[in-house]
Amino acid sequence: MLEKEKWQELSKAKENWEKGTVEKALSKFKERQEEFNTGSGIPIARLCTPLDAQKLDYENDLGFPGEYPFTRGVQPTMYRGRFWTMRQYAGFATAEESNKRYKYLLEQGQTGLSVAFDLQTQIGYDSDTPIAQGEIGKVGVAIDSLADMEVLFNGIPLDKVSTSMTINASAAILLAMYIAVAEKQGVSTEQLRGTIQNDILKEYSARGTYIFPPTPSMRLITNVFEFCAENVPKWNTISISGYHIREAGSTAVQEVAFTLADGIAYVEAAIKAGMDVDDFAGRLSFFFNAHNDLFEEAAKFRAARKVWAKIMKERFGAKNPRSWKLRFHTQTAGSTLTAQQPDNNIVRVAIQTLAAVLGGTQSLHTNSRDEALALPSEDSVRIALRTQQIVAYESGVGETIDPLAGSYYVENLTTEIEKRVWAYIEKIDALGGAVKAIEQGYIQKEIADSSYAYQKAMEAGQRIVVGLNKFQMEEQPVKGLLRVDPAVGEAQVKRLQELKKSRDNAAVQNKLADLRQAAQGETNLMPYILAAVRLYATEGEICNVLRDVFGEYRPVEIL
C-alpha cells in the first residue's frame, strides 16, 4: 500500500512539473522537434523517472552478471577480469600481404585475428573463374587452396592466437584448411580457438555470398557443429550475425529479432540432425553492429542477451548455463561512415565503441575512417585500434559491470526493445521460421523498407548526418588510400595453375569422388572435405562437386 502511494505521489509530482515548469519553458522556447524517436522508431520521453522502470523486477529482469538471464553480462567479472578481445577484421590482396598485416596488428597489441576473404573465396570459386576477374584480393585475401592458407598463417602460432574467419557458404572448407595448417604446425585441433561465421541465413537475407540452397546449406552447418563438438571443442562453430542485416538497412530492433530468429533456425536444425542442445549451444556465438544511437545500442545488447537466454532455456530446454549465454562480437557500423570529411568517422567509431562496451561485448572490431572511400590504410587501422585502447584504458567504462543498469531511460529502452523483438519472433514463427520467412522474402522486404525509410528521412533532413546533409564543406580528395594492385589477380591465377601441376592430381580426384558420394548420402561431410583439402584440392573444386550435388540458391527479390 505504501509502495503504491509512493508511485502515485511521484506520478503527480511529475505531472505538476510538466504542467508547471515545463509548460512555462515551452511557451517561451519550443523543443527542437515535435517528437523524438530512436532509430528503431521507439518514442523517447522528455524525461524518464523511476515511474518508467517501476515494473522492473530486479532479480528476474536483470539478475547478476554471469547468471540467468544475463541482462547485465555473460561473465561474472566482465572487463574487470580482462578487456574485450580487440580484433580488427583484415585481409586483402595475397596471402603474403595479409600475413604481413596480421603480424603488424599483433605487434600493435591486437589480441586476436580476423580474416577477411575476397569474394570468389567467399562464393567458392577459384581465382581463375571468369566471373572472379577484377575481384581477386579486393575485399579480402584470395585463398584457393591449403597452399595459400599456409602462407596466410606463416609464422603465426595457431595454438596462441584466436582466429575469426568471415566465411559462410564455404565455411566448412576454410575451417578444414585452418585445421590442416594447424596439423602442419604440430598444433592439435583441441587447442584451436576461434570462430567461423558459418551463418548462411543472413547471406540470403542481407549479405549475398550464398552458394547452395537452404537445405544442403543447413546440413553443412550442422556437420560443422557435430565435427567441432567432437574434435575442435574450443571453436565457435557459428557467428550468428546481425551485423550485415543492420548494414543492409534494418533497425536495431530488426537486427536483434532477425538474428535471433536465424539462431532459432540453427538450433532447430542441429536438434533435428540428432544433436543434444547442450552439446553445441555453448559454441554458438553472435555478431552485432554498433551504431551511433548510444543508449538504444547499449540497450539492444542487453535485450538480446535476455531474449536469447529465455529462448535457450525455455524454448529449447537447454540445461547447461553456458548454452543460455549470448556471447557476441561487435563491429562498428560501416554504413554510418561518410566519405565526406572522413576524419569525423573517428568520432563516430569512438561513440560506437562506447555503445559496444557499455553493452557488454566480448570482442570488437573498430572501423577505419577511410572505409567509405576504399580499403583501410595501415594508419587508419591503427587509429581505429587506438580508439578501442583509449576506451579500454582511459575512459574507465570497464571498471564496473554494466554501468548503465538502473538508468530509467536505458532500462525502459531495454524492455521496449525486448518486447518488439518478441513480436517479430512470433511473426516469423507464424511464417514457419526464419528459413521460410527468407524464402518468402519477408525478412528481405522488412530490411529494404527500413533502409528506404531511413534514406528518405535523411534526404528530408529529419535525420542529420554531419558533413553529409548538414555542415558540409568543399573538400580535397583524400590521399594515401590503399589500392590493391591489379597484378595481384594475375599472380594468384598463376600460383593456382602451378599448384594444379605440382600436386598429386589422381589422389585429389579420388578424394573429390569420395566427397561426391558422401554428399549424395547423409553422412557428415567434414572428414571428406578435410581429406581433400590436405591433398591441396582447391576450394573451387570442392564447391563445384557440392554444386553438382546440391544445386545453387536462387534469390528471392522483393523490392
Grid coordinates given for 406: 538502473
Which residue, 294 or 465, has its beta carbon nearer to another protein?
465
Rounded to a whole number of angstroms, the minimum distance from the CB of residue 554 to another protein is: 6
Rounded to a whole number of angstroms, the minimum distance from the CB of residue 20 to another protein is: 44
CA–CA separation, 474 and 411 (whole Å): 42
Strand partners, 116: 166
Rounded to a whole number of angstroms, the minimum distance from the CB of residue 454 to another protein is: 9
Rounded to a whole number of angstroms, the minimum distance from the CB of residue 142 to another protein is: 12
Question: 133: left (phi > 0), else alpha (psi -120 to 50), else beta?
Answer: beta
CA–CA separation, 305 and 294 (whole Å): 17
Rounded to a whole number of angstroms, the minimum distance from the CB of residue 284 to another protein is: 23
Rounded to a whole number of angstroms, the minimum distance from the CB of residue 555 to another protein is: 6
Which residue, 73 or 137, has its beta carbon nearer to another protein?
137
Which residue, 239 or 250, has its beta carbon nearer to another protein?
250
Burial state string for 60-74 with b = 16 or more CB within 10 A and e = fewer than 16: ebbbebbbbbbbbbb
Q: Cβ distance 521 to 558 under 8 Å?
A: no
CA–CA separation, 515 and 552 (whole Å): 17
Rounded to a whole number of angstroms, the minimum distance from the CB of residue 224 to another protein is: 21
Which residue, 51 or 374, has its beta carbon nearer to another protein?
374
Q: In what order do the strands lie in the sheet with 235-236?
A: 89-90, 113-116, 162-166, 193-196, 235-236
Which residue, 473 or 559, has its beta carbon nearer to another protein?
559
Rounded to a whole number of angstroms, the minimum distance from the CB of residue 448 to another protein is: 5
Which residue, 162 or 352, has its beta carbon nearer to another protein?
352
Burial class from Cβ neighbours inside 10 Å (0-12, 13-18, 19+) for residue 559 reads: exposed
Give the residues lining the site for another protein (CB under 8 A): 119-120, 122-123, 125, 130-135, 138-139, 203, 207-209, 213, 247-249, 335, 338-340, 371-375, 440-441, 448, 451-452, 455, 459, 465, 468-469, 477-478, 481, 483-484, 486, 551, 554-555, 557-559
Positive or negative: CA dihedral 235, 237, 243, 248: positive
DSSP 490-559: HHHHHHHHHHHHHS-HHHHHHHHHHHHHHHHSSS-SHHHHHHHHHTT--HHHHHHHHHHHH---------
Which residue, 477 or 521, has its beta carbon nearer to another protein?
477
How do 193-196 and 235-236 pair as beta strands?
Answer: parallel
CA–CA separation, 72 and 400 (whole Å): 11
Which residue, 69 or 137, has its beta carbon nearer to another protein?
137
